[in-house]
Chain A
Amino acid sequence: MLRGSLPLALLLVSLAGCPGGNGGLGEACHGNDDCGGGLQCFASQCAPRCQRAPDCGDGYACDDNGLCKLATGQRGDLCSSEVDCAPSLACRIDGAAIDPATHHLQATCLEQARMRLSGDTCIQDSDCRNWTCALGRCVDLCRQPRDCALGETCVEIPRVDANGALFAGCLPTQGSLSWSIPVTAPAAEVLLPVPAVARSVELVMAVDDPTQKVGAQRVLSPIGATIYTQPCSPLLSTADQPCEDNDAADQYFGNFDPGRPDTGNQVRHRAALGQSVLLMPSALTTPLATGDYVIKVASFRADGSGGSAIPRVTAVIKLDSGATLDLHFFFLDLTDHPCLDPGAVLNAGSAVSGAFQREYLAALRDVFTAPGVAIGDVTYEDITDRADLDGLDVANAGALLSLGRYATGINVFFVRSLSPLGIQAWGPNPGPAGLGGTPQSGIAIGLDTLCYRRWPAVARLTAYEIARYMGLYHNVELGTARHPTWRDPISDSGDTSSNLLYFSAAGGTDLSAGQAALLLRSAVLR
């Protein structure tokens, strides 16, 4: 740990020529008793007491009284926190050995490595000064939050290189983390470490060949239970392994009966052309577990057989309970749209006032207020150089949604029309929350709807698509009468059309407590 605001503060005070006396800030001292209230004697000068170890600099701990304590751990000594090791040493995880006292991975003080500091991005341990690369970032070991920098806390993190054994490390208290997981073959197992504070976790899988599908084939929980198996493919149906369309649908919708956790899929996921997202949890009855999830990722041909494309995999973990939804509106060329009032204009300039604000954005805000989501930043931009996307064929939606560059919040694109006509909105379910610029980074709303619905209905439509992006599913499907399991995995969402996730224009804006709780876990929110 190198950061330290306290030594810098002392230096500045000294340079300013502080006259000293009565134990004031920057005055000479021999012990803490020489300094006034709220100060400590640090490096022979009175200095502010610390709140966090990094306030003191490399090789110090911050004790319960706010006093910086020089670490005594020498090379080869056991440690459990970065603050145990003397300056220029780092507390480094020692293979897979477990400390019987803490049940965490054992660690030892060793020389610091390269210059990447705690919190910097990394690919491997040797990238980090403290020898620990986890969740795509350099992580300091810790025993308590005070060992970590302000804005971080001390949490249990599974160590991929040690079969998911846990260590305690410093992670941010706010926001999301995303990192790439290397894959070198068309089908491969990846380990997804889920720390104790994770609210939700997603794996975004992509291939460059748009004619191939990509997705997860199997997911094992940290305790080794199979919680997801890819639904069968009717195109690969055989006498030994028959698979009709309804079989594939049954398997996709899964069995989310918490009373039978060992049967059926506990996670909803489907491979898709070009990119797909695996989001967990699918329901709070199957909560996330701390540890390594083992996920077999693969590319597939259109018929479901093995593909040749090598997947690119990105993990995203939401760490906090932030409930602010940013909205980023993009307007294609809507000039002279027949469904706008005569003479009306809808673009980034006009949307900041008028009906768009009064009737649309206000209604959208109302929908999300009920589950506790506040609308945060709202931005407006025109897209004037993509005439090919003005009337969007949903088969080409990736070209539009890739323009959604905002990683937090939702990118909402207003297009003249969606094709096939009759479709009113389009978006991934779920979407790559926390990632911008992917072929699924947003939703599209067709303005044709305004020929037969008013703005509040367009707002409900937008809210529905946003909720799907964030990981909610139709509360019931069209075929539920014949197929009772074709419904969402949330036990209290019910069958009613008053629900926001009802699949038709007859739907309402209600969300059940279970749906709201899941919505609030999305990495879309900040």
Chain B
Amino acid sequence: METDAVQQEVSAPCVELSASQTALACAAAALVPGLGHAVMKKWDRAVVFFVSIILMFFIGVGLQGRVFGPDFTDLFSSLKFIADAGAGLLYWMARLRGLGVGEPTAYTYDFGNVFIYVAGLLNMLVVVDAFDIARGRKS
């Protein structure tokens, strides 16, 4: 009985959405972690992505990590900005509210930065996942 339920869940049909619905899901996912999946009614994924990525971002800020601004003077600065900005509206809200100033002398500064980078990078993966689901490549 349990095996049947798991089998049904695993073999849920892949449904391809229209181009506009796909664009909407990807844009929503890029702006707010998990929102793209919520638009497609993938509630379990939406909740996990929303909670995990937001938690990760704010733990990073709490560990006195820095939210890097748009700085394209060298490769590493650009990559830091791109990784951080992957978090979408979270990133811009933090920037506008003056959060994530960062304290380089703090013991946890580097850990905080890594949490913030990875929150952004995970959200980029989540956008790709939303795209795959919307195009019917996975259920």
A and B interact: no
Point out residues on A near B: beta carbons under 8 Å: none
